[in-house]
Structures are given as C-alpha cells and as structure tokens.
Amino acid sequence: MSFKISRRNALKNMGLLSAASSFGAIGSLKAQQLKDKSNGLPPVKIAKVKAIATCPEGTELIMVKVETNEPGLYGYGCATFRQRSHAVVAAIDKSLNDFCAGKDVDNIEDLWQSTYQSSYWRNGPVLNNALSGLDQALWDIKGKRANMPVYQLLGGKCRFAVDCYAHASGQTTDEVVEDVKMYMEDGFRHIRIQLGGYGTTHLAGKPDFKKAGFGMHRDNFMDPVTYTKGTVEIFDKVRKECGEKIELLHDMHERLQPMDAINLLKELEQYRPFFIEDPLSPENNRYFQLLRENTSVPIAMGELFNSPHEWVEPMKNLWFDFIRIHISQIGGITPAMKVARLGEWFNVRTAWHGPGDVSPVGHAANAHIDLAVWNFGIQERKDFSEKIREIFPGTPEIKNGYMHINEAPGLGVEINEKLAAKYPLPNVQLNNWTQVRGNDGTIIRP
Ligand code: GCO
Ligand code: MG
C-alpha cells in the first residue's frame, strides 16, 4: 500500500478546501504542512529502518525500507553491494535502525551527515551502502510528502528522458558485431563493446599457475597481450562493419598495468571511442595525469570509488571526462548530487554505474539525478526481467535507448516484499569473477 495523500481529503480535514480551489491544492497543502510544523505539530518521524534483501536471479539485491509514524508513509532506497550483502544487511538492521529511530524524516542532510560520521571510521563500501539505502528512502519519502517525483526536488528536468548505453559482447569479433547491430536496431546510440567478458579471459588459454596447481581451479586467467590485441580488433571490426556514427564504449576494468593502459588508449584513438572506462585501478589514480597527457581518448572512472579522496583531486585536475560512481557506494543521492555539481565546474559529466547489481530502486535514483543535472553524460542501464519487474513495480522502462522513470511521487519504485522474501540471500558469495590471475598466478585487480 503506498502513501497517497488525497489532496481533497487532507485539505477538507484541515478546513482548507475552499482556499485550495482558488490558489492550487498543493500550494496550500504544503503551506499548511509547513504551518503545522511551525505550530509545533509533531514532524513525521522515522519509526523503523530495515533491510530488504532478495536474490531472485543470482544477483544479491539489498534495499532499505524506512517506515514512519505516519500510517502508510514509507520509503525505499538502494544499498546493493552484492559482494558483501550480508554485511550490509547487518549494518542496516543492527546499527542504522537504532541510530535513526525517532528522527525527523525531513532533515535528510543532517541525517546523512550525522549517520556518515556516527561510525567514526567512514568512507567504506559496507557502511556507505547502508547509508545510501537510508538516504534514498528519505528522498523517496520527501517526494511522496511533496507529491512530486524526486527529480522535481532536485531542480526539475534538463532533458525529456535518460540516454542509455547497451552492453554488446561476444566470444568472437563477428558475434560482437552482430550484438552491436541488434542494439542499433533497438535504437541505442551508444554501445559498449567487450570481447567476451572483462579481460578477454576466454581466449587466454591454460595458464602456468593452473598447471602448477596454484590458486583455485575456478580462478580466471587473464593474459594482457591477448586482451589488448582482442580489444583493438573489435574496435576495428565494429567501426568497419557498423560505421562511424555509433558511439562506442569499452570497459577495461582496471586490469592492465598503467603503461600498457596508456598504450592501449593511444591505439584506440583512431576509432574515436565515446569513452574508455576504468583504464586504471583507483590505487593508480596518480597515473591519470600521465594518461591524460598521452592520449585524447575520453576517460570514464569511478564505479570503484567510495571516498571523496578518490574523486575530488582527479575531477578538479580534469583527469576524467565522465564520473562513473556506483552511487550507493558513496552513500546515495545526497553525495551523488554533490559529485554532479562538482563535475559541472570542471566539465566532468555523469555516467553513473548501472549494472545488474544495482537494484531497480537504485536505477530509478540514478535516473532522477540524470534528469535533473545539466552535466549528464550517459547512463548505463540494465534490461530488467519480468520477474524483477514483478518484485519491483515501477522499475524504469527502456524505450528506443532511453530510460523512462515511473512519474509518481518519490522515486516511483515499490517493492513486493512478500515476493522478494521468496528469494533469500544465499549463504555463499555467488560468483567469484573477481578472482583473476596472471600466468604465474599473481592476482590481478579485477
Ligand atoms: C560495469 C561494471 C560491472 C561490475 C560489477 C561488479 O561497468 O557495469 O564493470 O560489470 O564489474 O557491477 O559487481
Ligand atoms: Mg565497469
């Protein structure tokens, strides 16, 4: 059941019905609400903060639900960090609930700041995801109370819908070309191209570490030369077969040594990439200056960032063109808006992380920001299944390469909690794709 204040009933209750007809219901309703508070009527308070975790299709999704003392008024936020899902659930249920119960739902900035430093040690992925779930739920509630979609509270629309990119991939260059052609027919203007998954691991062959019985049998092998060669090949082939107009993106996923990354970007310049993502790992942030001085390829970075110490310096030095933060990893809409505003002054555009391990609530939060900020770049999208849409009514839709949100008050996504509960989190981490090794078995940052 969602909280829908019927303006007529609310105004009738407050004896304002006649006034509403003259200067607009919402105006007087809001004025009345503000007046109520100034009259010392109790503000709306947080009654409970709880985790909702579900894993219907092999990807752990974690959300926060904030319940209030107003019957039927609640909000949802995304807290999805699939690699440590149980830790995020514990952070929400064991500490966030106690800390937030009884606080005023309206004071989002104060709640964000006080929660952020309540653990003293901060800027880590687990606590930031719990904080994000709270933050996004509070924006959802504020939108419901104002009877407006959240993008309206962020300044209104700068564009009619959110331009997205599709993920094309294949085990061979021909398969990648086929995938690109399919997405071009679906209307996408931007397409990411990968040969295989990340790192072209399927072409790397049998490494020495496996022959030596080092590491785990399921560990992946990545050979930098095979990957680099394969990446140049797919750009060459896709440009030849699909033309110059389509915008091509690629995700390096931080796996090459910095100088190899610089050399690959120089080789890709001739194919005019829209952006190359994660050319370096965050631990090598200092190399971005050298990378920037050696190539004109547009760079996207940020899905691995958790702390302002990772993005402020590179953004003010113009080392990136797109900031690709996974917004629940930094604490939600509140900090993401600050990152977007920072980017405007240094011409860094947004390209929020939007894979399958962001919940539909999180994709909606991305899209509300995308609609409202001037320096939007592009949005990564996930084509959610019917099953996911059944669990998350109001999940954003993709049409002709554009994402459209549910134009409802708040973030516009509900959760069928009963159905979500049918798919509990697994007790083990489902996938270990992060375990990537070089030929001698050295772990590679994934
Ligand atoms: C992307 C990302 C993802 C991440 C994944 C981590 O660009 O979408 O690289 O594929 O690897 O979200 O869990
Ligand atoms: Mg990526």
Domain 162-410: CATH superfamily is Enolase-like C-terminal domain (3.20.20.120)
- Classify the C-alpha dihedral 114-119-123-126 as positive or negative: negative
**Atom 10 (ligand 1) nearest CA:** 355
Q: Which residues surround ligand 2, an ion (CB under 5 A)?
A: 251, 303
Is 316:348 a contact under the CB 8 Å cutoff? no
Starting from the CA of residue 429, give the closest ligand: 1
According to the model, what pLDDT value does residue 408 have? 98
Catalytic positions are 198, 253
Q: Which atom of ligand 1 is nearest to the CA of 167?
A: 8
Q: Which of 78, 251, 277 to mutate to test the pocket of ligand 1 (most atoms within 8 A of CB)?
A: 251
**Atom 3 (ligand 1) nearest CA:** 355
Number of residues in the chain: 446
According to the model, what pLDDT value does residue 348 have? 98
CA angle 423, 397, 301 (to 5 degrees): 85
Report the separation in Å between the CA atom of 355 and the middle of ligand 1, taken as the mean of its atom positions. Answer: 6
Cα–Cα distances in angstroms (integers) from residue 403 to residues 232, 283, 321, in the given order:
30, 33, 22
Residue appearing with tokens 């190539």? 295
Report the separation in Å between the CA atom of 440 and the middle of ligand 2, taken as the mean of its atom positions. Answer: 25
- 97 backbone φψ class: left, alpha, beta (φ>0; ψ -120 to 50): alpha
Please state the pTM of the whole predicted model: 0.91
**Atom 13 (ligand 1) nearest CA:** 357
Calpha distance 50→89 (Å, rounded): 8
Residue appearing with tokens 């050399």? 263
Report the separation in Å between the CA atom of 379 and the middle of ligand 2, taken as the mean of its atom positions. Answer: 12
At a CB cut-off of 8 Å and minimum separation 6, what does 117 contact? none
Q: Which of 251, 303, 322, 363 to mutate to test the pocket of ligand 1 (most atoms within 8 A of CB)?
A: 303
Tens place of pLDDT per residue across the chain (446 aa): 444 444 444 444 444 444 334 334 445 555 555 555 554 556 899 999 999 999 999 999 999 999 999 999 999 999 999 999 999 999 999 999 999 999 999 999 999 999 999 999 999 999 999 999 999 999 999 999 999 999 999 999 999 999 999 999 999 999 999 999 999 999 999 999 999 989 999 999 999 999 999 999 999 999 999 999 999 999 999 999 999 999 999 999 999 999 999 999 999 999 999 999 999 999 999 999 999 999 999 999 999 999 999 999 999 999 999 999 999 999 999 999 999 999 999 999 999 999 999 999 999 999 999 999 999 999 999 999 999 999 999 999 999 999 999 999 999 999 999 999 999 999 988 778 899 999 999 999 98
Could you say which DSSP state residue 45 is in? B
Looking from the CA of 74 toward its CB, the CA atoms found within 13 Å total 20
Report the separation in Å between the CA atom of 381 and the middle of ligand 1, taken as the mean of its atom positions. Answer: 11
In whole angstroms, how large is the CA radius of gyration of the chain? 23
Whether domain 7-148 has CATH 3.90.1150.10: the reply is no
The finding on whether 303 has its CB within 6 A of some atom of ligand 1 is yes
The finding on whether 254 has its CB within 6 A of some atom of ligand 1 is no
Q: Could you count the other beta carbons within 10 Å of the beta carbon of residue 371?
A: 24
Cα–Cα distances in angstroms (integers) from residue 422 to residues 57, 197, 387, 418, in the given order:
12, 30, 12, 7
Q: Which atom of ligand 1 is nearest to the CA of 82?
A: 13
Q: How deeply is 121 buried, as exposed, middle or buried, from its count of CB atoms within 10 A (0-12, 13-18, 19+)? A: exposed
The finding on whether 60 has its CB within 6 A of some atom of ligand 1 is no
Residue appearing with tokens 């219907």? 56
Helix or strand or coil: residue 234?
Answer: helix
Phi, psi values for residue 61, rounded to 5°: -120, 130
The finding on whether 251 has its CB within 6 A of some atom of ligand 1 is yes
User: Where along the chain do its domains lie?
Assistant: 7-148, 162-410
The finding on whether 382 has its CB within 6 A of some atom of ligand 1 is no
Q: Which amino acid is at 392?
A: F
According to the model, what pLDDT value does residue 31 have? 57
| CA–centroid distance for 258 within its chain | 26
**Atom 9 (ligand 1) nearest CA:** 253
Q: Which of 190, 249, 253 to mutate to test the pocket of ligand 1 (most atoms within 8 A of CB)?
A: 253
**Atom 2 (ligand 1) nearest CA:** 355
Calpha distance 53→208 (Å, rounded): 40
Helix or strand or coil: residue 97?
Answer: helix
According to the model, what pLDDT value does residue 416 have? 98
According to the model, what pLDDT value does residue 43 have? 86
